[in-house]
Amino acid sequence: MESLNDIKKRIKSVTDISQMTHAMQLVSASKMRKSKIQHEKVSPFFTLCAESLMELHRSAGDIDNPFLQMRERKSGTTWKIAYFILTGDQGLAGAYNNNIVKIAEEHIQKKILENAKKSIRTEYKLYVFGHVGTEKLKKDGYSVDPDFSFPITNPTYYEARNVANIIRAKYLSGEFDQVYIVYTKMESAISMKPVITRLVPIDTKSLKDSFASGAEDAGIAVEVGATVDYFPNANEVLSFLIDTGLNAVMYGAMVEAFACEQTARMQAMDNANRNADEMMKKLTIESNRARQARITNELNEIVNGASQVE
């Protein structure tokens, strides 16, 4: 059995750590609530843009827009894929960061194998939000763009728009053939799931799953059989919606990823607090036993000393 002094030191250490984890839990809960409120304020506008884009794409027929057309993959060519991976700047969030990195690595390897079967080479570039994911991917042998630096903490629409501008410019210049975003989606208050969404070429199904209301006939409110006139023309309206849609998807992913990170850290700290409480109970019992044993030893010494005097 440990000495009473050693047990007291352990109790103090557990108490100090518990106070820290409790404070981190409260901070994460506050940040999570703010980010969810922030997302809920702008999501109706983004949902309308997504549904309008789907409606226009469905009703306007064939539209010549590079963001809606999949480039042809021929045998012997190189397919260039970009991944924008949203991880956290801090640890202590359970398996949050590891899950994101894992799903990204699995998708990269899957794409390499799929293209190899078609005699197509694969080049990929990783653009990572957050220090934790960057270091993890580097450790696993993946090359991460060192010049890409955007914070994931307290994301803003302006930051999301800047990232979307980079994606648009590099895609139009031919530097990318496909762009994917990897982030964590909050399915409920306690359930989170890492997901991969193709940003460009735009996948209307993914857009519907991410932002539209989910109905089969999601779109702008028009009467059945009615026609819609687009001003100045359908291509101009589509270009605006695509630009706004990319901004919306990136901003929504950044806000949701930050909220999920805070939720994961809040849950991890809650588990740490529970473990600390259990440990405190065990240490308290050990402390009482050690104290009783010390008192018993002192009484035995007194009795033995008294008997020797007699």
**HEC readout, the chain:** CCCHHHHHHHHHHHHHHHHHHHHHHHHHHHHHHHHHHHHHHHHHHHHHHHHHHHHHHHHCCCCCCHHHCCCCCCCCCEEEEEEEEECCCCCCCCCHHHHHHHHHHHHHHHHHHHHHHCCCEEEEEEEEECHHHHHHHHHCCCCECCCCCCCCCCCCHHHHHHHHHHHHHHHHCCCCCEEEEEEEEECCCCCEEEEEEEEECCCHHHHHHHCCCCCCCCCCCCCCCCCCCCCCCHHHHHHHHHHHHHHHHHHHHHHHHHHHHHHHHHHHHHHHHHHHHHHHHHHHHHHHHHHHHHHHHHHHHHHHHHHHHC
Mean model confidence pLDDT for the chain: 82
Per-residue pLDDT reduced to its tens digit, 218-262: 445 445 555 667 777 777 877 887 888 888 888 888 888 888 888
Out of 22-36, 147-161, 238-252, 296-310, which region has the weakest mean confidence (pLDDT)? 296-310
Mean pLDDT, rounded, for 261-279: 86
pTM: 0.81
Whether the CB-CB separation of 298 and 74 falls below 8 Å is answered with no
| 135 has a pLDDT exceeding 50 | yes
pLDDT surpasses 60 at 211: no
pLDDT confidence tier of residue 157, bands split at 50, 70 and 90: confident
pLDDT at 216 over 60: no
Residue 84 pLDDT more than 70? yes
pLDDT for position 54: 73
pLDDT level of residue 108 (50, 70, 90 thresholds): very high
In what order do the strands lie in the sheet containing 78-86?
Answer: 121-129, 78-86, 178-186, 192-200
Going from the N-terminus, what domains does the chain have, and what CATH number goes with each?
A: 4-25+270-301 (1.10.287.80), 28-267 (3.40.1380.10)
